[in-house]
Structure 1
């Protein structure tokens, strides 16, 4: 006899009779047949194209994709009876470019690059969102109008980048010492088709913290030369911090280690490294959970400044390419507080939706709540990831240049000249601004 949730079962009244085993078996068989039939009907309807469907492309794969499906896609499908044909890819930009060229783009896309989205908007591939999304829920920092006055994207989740992670048992003095030892920085440059972007984050943040948001924005919109003293200084500071072109073993480790795997070095005995300059999403890695990872503002450790002058941020941005009824419903849903809250609960990313307030409880509240508040603080300056805001060709060349520079620091002058030449190419789409304060 099995136990009830509240304890042992009481004896059944004598007037009640157990169903026979034959009846139980019959009901079980019928139920199983109905379940199989229902599944077959769903598959058949989809195969015949009779179930409403919306196509969605994003960069979440593996565990992230599983969490996204469970937290966001499946509730949408249940509520609206619309199938989401989801494709996740680590080479999302390349996949989207090929689909657009072939004339088969997805209905909805989630990209990290506003610069890339601005180019698609200029080419009339994106549709304005003002009639679908209350952009005031996000503010100009995250749902910024382009020169034509239209808003073409909004954030599904956001991340803070101007931070450094360290194990929970490492004190402030130890962090200060580790920052001056290249071997103590956890650096992994690998990321498949987008390898090199961790290096761009370093250079961007160093420039932002040393010279402030005004100069940072000039550079991010193409108005400051890559060969300027300030930009060159940011590259050299990164070189000195991580040993670019110096210790061959450190360089080899950085060049051959994926960015998502380098965190494991904080859990080895002895530790392989102590500090990681990485966005807030990295806290979701098992290694940082095991090390009880904490974060510090980046400026004191990167440039010796007492506090951050501004905060570099990034976001996964939702955009619309086809205005089908199903796609419009998905856009509205992804912009809703419910969807944003659900996805934020499954990841280390954060929603900046006005109706999704930072949680105050849970075992991670000590690092999550201050981080979330920093992202939403209207008195703080938030600047979008500069390379993500640049035209795709410049963004990709920047990432490749960080890899070359890490391997051979004597190439810096040539690399910066090449980036200047590319940035002056006619026909590139540059965002008018990348820095703003967030609303209440």
Structure 2
């Protein structure tokens, strides 16, 4: 009888433990088999990426779920503060990624993924005395582009400007200034400025701002207000009853503008339209010696959890199989650009021309400077661009550059371990 009571008590204890741990699946020796990927793509882009994730099933029993948001930084910060970070996050700011690596939030990548961390998108960082790779580019974009309708003369362009972008308004203007500085002063000066080693009040940086204002020319108050409130993708097409599909700035600005400075991703807006993309160097009053330099951006995957499967997932996401699947799932005008020339690239005519610049023609690729800056400085840069656009006077510019220098000194005064190296901004194309 005593043995029966003892067995019953053991069974009760086991069942009680199961009840306490049931949400974690501990009774069956199970754990959460789903890896969470947080990323910036929504709509058709998000659906294509999620479809690729679903097709990556390798029979291990692990599944993947994708969370797409346009408020990526805010969402990630909230999850980190709640102690519930995603397993993998995809960010376009190496400044943010550097901060997370230095704070011990990121896990170094396995060798196979690190081997695909082509420059300048993913420089190794020296954290805790060891140089390691903490993120890898999944897709990349070319920013040094000017868009215009076929047959439109480049002699006297009327520039389209749309600076609104929800919480990150202003970045289309920072792209202008970055691209101008790169072509006027060259990659070395650009790198020093992007990494906080050059003052904002340096004459070369100041000249980039005034060149932008000169290129845009005199603008009426109505035109300025329109640019400050218009989205960078323009207004919805009136023919679209749902009001969802934008028609691009070239079809949205009144009176009609002729040229737009924008990243390669905008090609999806002009799919099917007679719109041409050209390298920006010829429009920016730069030195011909710097024509082979291009500003680029990227979406990088980093691991935020201790689950080894998350590191394996990033390795797979950066591999050829995932890229082939992603390309097959995306609409033609949304097919991503990849950093390796041997990877599948877009097949539409505009996409092929842009891919050739990224992987074959460019001598130097320089990562988006504001995305290389600490987030607090990047955000101040965004705000300053909006303020200068509304009042492009020399006095106002001097005030804004002084404010940016103050933020720079507070945000990046050190050269300690883990800081983004100067070599991590501009480099010859890799892959």
Establish whether residue 185 from structure 1 lines up as the match of residue 166 from structure 2.
no
Corresponding position: 1:145 with 2:119? no
The answer to whether the Cα contact below 8 Å between 1:212 and 1:309 also exists between their aligned partners in 2 is no
In structure 2, list runs of 5 or more residues that go unmatched: 1-21, 236-246
Cα deviation, residue 376, structure 1: 1.6
Quote the offset at 1:290 in angstroms: 3.6
Matches within 5 A, 1:6-405: 52-70=33-51, 72-77=52-57, 80-133=60-113, 135-148=114-127, 149-170=131-152, 174-178=153-157, 184-243=158-217, 246-261=219-234, 264-267=248-251, 272-285=256-269, 288-303=270-285, 305-306=287-288, 308-344=291-327, 346=330, 347-353=334-340, 355-358=342-345, 362=347, 364-365=348-349, 367-377=350-360, 380-405=363-388
Give the RMSD, CA atoms, in angstroms.
Answer: 2.6
Tell me how far apart the structure 1 counterparts of residues 320 and 303 of structure 2 sit (CA, whole Å): 19
**Is 1:436 equivalent to 2:418 in the alignment?**
no
Counterpart check, 1:412 vs 2:403 = no
- TM-score (norm: length of structure 2): 0.81
User: Aligned in 2, Cα 1:264/1:137: closer, same or farther, shift over 3 Å?
Assistant: closer
Question: Structure 1: how far apart are the matches of 2:177 and 2:258?
Answer: 20
Does the 8 Å contact 1:243/1:251 carry over to 2?
no
**How many residues were matched structurally?**
379
Residues 426, 216 of structure 1: CA spacing in aligned structure 2 closer, same or farther, 3 A cutoff? closer
Distance in 2 between residues matched to 1:195 and 1:421, nearest whole Å: 21
Specify the alignment match of 1:31 in structure 2: none
Q: Distance in 2 between matches of 1:243 and 1:349?
A: 34
- Say if 1:91 and 1:194, in contact at 8 Å, map to a contact too: no
Correspondence for 2:16: none
TM-score normalised by structure 1 residue count: 0.80
Taking the aligned partners of 2:176 and 2:160, their CA distance within structure 1 comes to: 12
Offset at 1:101? 1.9
Per the alignment, do residues 378 and 321 of structure 1 end up closer, same or farther by CA in structure 2, a change over 3 Å counting? farther
Moved more, 119-128 or 368-377: 368-377
Residues 366-391 of structure 1, C-alpha deviations (whole Å, 9 max, x = no match): x2223112212386100000000000
